[in-house]
Amino acid sequence: MSDIDFTKPLTPWQIVQVARMSGRPLIGDYIKGMCSDFIELHGDRVFGDDRGMIGGFATIGGERVMLIGHQKGKSVEENIKTNFGMANPEGYRKAMRLMRLAEKYHLPVIALVDTPGAYPGLEAEARGQAEAIAKNLTVMAGLRTPYIIVVTGEGGSGGALGIAVGDTVLMLQYAVYSVISPEGCASILWRDGKKAPEAAKAMKITADSLLKLGIIDEILPEPTGAAHSDPRAMVKTVKAAVLKCIKELKVLPADELVVRRYAKLRRMGSATL
């Protein structure tokens, strides 16, 4: 990535490359940097525990929350263990279980999104991948507690959306959020994966475009040279933004939260670039 000049606006394809960089802070870094305590909860009570999705009770700046998110690794071994951040159905069912726990105890949910997509393997499909994600969408839409989303890296397809229906959507400056990867889009439209840069531009997957379209609510600026150049500063920025959202949302009655969330979802797609 040494050929990227961060003093100039980046192309959508360059932003895709930055979003995928291995040096960007992962959920483990956010837990260490934002949380004074974190109690991880395991398992979906149906099949098992998915290491591609992590979650548990946490305290951020004195605020008790339920923190969930995709988990990637920092080495080949860790990535194999976490399935490169691609959750299986049991990961999404675990997340749903934690969402409902948060609702029961009146805790805000913080969801950190960073995944290429849900795992597309035969075993995942056999265990109900699509059903698990669809069920999560239904639960999140009606969840009677504040729900805050931060897209920190890759926000890929239904794998991202499976934990990303909420009240406020924050997105890092050089993150991406899309229905499919640029390579996948190019392969389908032009039968040529090499046209991924053109697809990235056409898909409007960057934070600037998504803010104008009303898909996200706020862009979190990254340090000079992007998040990988100063992970601590990035974590600090995310923590401050999350705390601000918690304070704004927790004073609202549950009924109003649900009504506002529904209205927000209905508005998506009405704006144009």
Task: Convert the pLDDT of each residue in 20-29 to its tens digit.
Answer: 998 999 999 9
Indicate the residue type of 241.
A
Res 5: pLDDT: 82
Q: Report which secondary-structure segment, H or E, holds 203.
A: helix 196-203
Tokens 């995310």 locate to 238
Position 272 in a domain: no
**In this structure, are residues 207 and 227 in contact, taking their beta carbons and an 8 Å threshold?**
no
Say yes or no to pLDDT of 116 above 80: yes
Q: What percentage of the chain exceeds 70 in pLDDT? A: 99
**In this structure, are residues 156 and 116 in contact, taking their beta carbons and an 8 Å threshold?**
yes
* CA–CA distance, 84 with 102 (Å, rounded to integer): 26
Res 255: pLDDT: 96
Res 270: pLDDT: 77
* CA–CA distance, 206 with 204 (Å, rounded to integer): 6
Position 47 in a domain: yes
Give the model confidence (pLDDT) of 192-212 as tens digits.
888 999 999 999 999 999 999
| Joined tokens for residue 6 | 């961060």
Say yes or no to pLDDT of 15 above 80: yes
Q: What is the mean pLDDT of residues 73-83?
A: 90
Position 271 in a domain: no
Position 5 in a domain: no
Res 2: pLDDT: 56
Position 212 in a domain: yes
Give the model confidence (pLDDT) of 118-151 as tens digits.
988 999 999 999 999 999 999 999 999 999 999 9
Position 4 in a domain: no
Residue 155 lies in domain: 12-266
Position 152 in a domain: yes
C-alpha distances in angstroms, 147 versus 66, 68, 233?
10, 11, 24
Res 267: pLDDT: 87
CATH number of the domain within which 173 lies: 3.90.226.10
Position 7 in a domain: no
Structurally, the chain folds into a number of domains equal to: 1
Q: What is the DSSP string of 142-186?
A: T-SS-EEEEEEEEEEHHHHHTT--SSEEEEETT-EEESS-HHHHH
